[in-house]
Amino acid sequence: MIDLMFAAKTKSPDQWKIITSAISTLVDEATFEATTEGISFRGMDPSHVALIDIFWPNSAFDSYKCDSELKFGVRVSEFSKLIKRTDKKDELEVSISDEDMLQIKTIGSYKREYKMRLIESSSASTPLPKLSFNSKLVLSLSSFDKILSDIEVVSEYVEITSYPDKIEFLGKSDTGEASVIMEPNSEGLEEIEVKDESKATYSLDYLLKIVKSVSSVGVSSAIEYSTKMPIRLEFRITNIGRIHFYLAPRVQD
């Protein structure tokens, strides 16, 4: 019998699908860190514009075992391909033995087992930016996706401006201009908190990719930013814990 160094079981593969989908928007290879507390991942895209920070606590799993701290590296596309073969109602166990292989087992309409060779894990840890935010809004992911898509019709960038009683999303290009205003009674908006009026511009390509990668679960997102500072998106997803996404602002002359 093979002794497992790490094993994490979920009642559905959905959480792994969300996590691999979110990570794939930024990187091709991922190093996960497993400890007795849970699984974490932090990575930055090659251009160092965007960063994703994930923590998945042991309490969110159906069962969880990790004898000692370990890192395991995967090619995200290969890992994602195997996870996508699972059905929504499958129980899923991801485990590692001392064979240096990642094992994926499913129990559902029938039992499946995949093995995938791990890649050399990155030893460098990505530091989190130390930021304080002056503006915060909480809105449903479907509303946020819709707003960004509305702006994308005319622009590759979105300028977000916060006022005490509203938030404006603005896009401009040679072809035209688009503006969306969210007020306290707007559909999908749950909260506005403005300590200081803020204005910053961000790439729509990055924002739309990350929002669409997690939008299937229909959760809310907390959006925090300050003038000419990075934006932080927090996706509040049941049974996962923390998914934070940071994006640097567009620097304009």
**Confidence (pLDDT) at 123:** 67
Please count the residues of the chain.
Answer: 253
CA distance 149 to 143: 10
- Three-state secondary structure readout of the chain: CCCEEEEEEECCCHHHHHHHHHHHCCCCEEEEEECCCEEEEEEECCCCCEEEEEEEEHHHCCEEEECCCEEEEEEHHHHHHHHHCCCCCCEEEEEEECCCEEEEEEECCCEEEEEEECECCCCCCCCCCCCCCCEEEEEEHHHHHHHHHHHHCCCCEEEEEEECCEEEEEEEECCEEEEEEECCCCCCEEEEEECCCEEEEEEHHHHHHHHHHHHHHCCEEEEEECCCCCEEEEEEECCCEEEEEEECCCCCC
**Confidence (pLDDT) at 68:** 87
Q: How confident is the model at residue 129 (pLDDT cuts 50, 70, 90)?
A: confident
The CB-side HSE value for 155 (13 A sphere, CA atoms) comes to 21
**Confidence (pLDDT) at 1:** 44
**Confidence (pLDDT) at 116:** 92
Domains along the chain? 4-117 (3.70.10.10), 135-247 (3.10.150.10)
Query: What type of residue sits at position 223?
Result: I
Asked whether 126 and 44 are in contact (CB, 8 A), the reply is: yes
Average pLDDT of span 134-140: 94
Q: How confident is the model at residue 193 (pLDDT cuts 50, 70, 90)?
A: very high
For the chain, the distance separating the N- and C-terminal CA atoms, rounded to the nearest angstrom, is 63
Whether the predicted pLDDT of 2 surpasses 80: no
**Other residues' Cβ atoms within 10 Å of the Cβ of residue 19:** 26
Query: What type of residue sits at position 104?
Result: I
Give every CB contact of residue 60 below 8 A, 6+ residues apart in sequence.
15, 38, 239, 240, 241
- The structure's pTM equals 0.91
